[in-house]
Structure 1
């Protein structure tokens, strides 16, 4: 069974590795993470985690509904 976590992040770099590792322990197999204008290197870290099942995409939102637009986009993603 595959379990996918979908989330949005902005400047979460210091916490990402721990968050991904913890969710792996809980059984999450894939991650679909949308980033919003990061200035702390979060987006680069997410790209580096690709070999471990982390799919990083820029948030498709135009305006203020970042989470809802990302969730709508995630429904159509192959992960």
Structure 2
């Protein structure tokens, strides 16, 4: 056993042990509102990668669509 007596360390009879202690009746965070959480929490890097993938897919779709249209015109022989 150590020789320290901690029975009156947190006593609230005459003086508070901590200068900023609050009473139990007054809640400290009465006005606190938790932040609104996102529907799907993603890191920004993942979000940017998804956006880049969508741009790449969109550009590839446009290029391939144009090439297929040119191929169809060449096959039919229309000038």
Tell me, yes or no, whether TM beats 0.5: no
- Higher-Rg member (1/2): 2
- TM-score band by shorter chain is under 0.3
Please state which structure has a larger fraction of its residues in strand: 1
Q: TM-score, normalised by structure 1?
A: 0.21
Q: TM-score, normalised by structure 2?
A: 0.21
Task: Kindly indicate whether structure 1 or structure 2 has the higher relative contact order, using CA contacts under 8 Å at least 6 residues apart.
Answer: 1
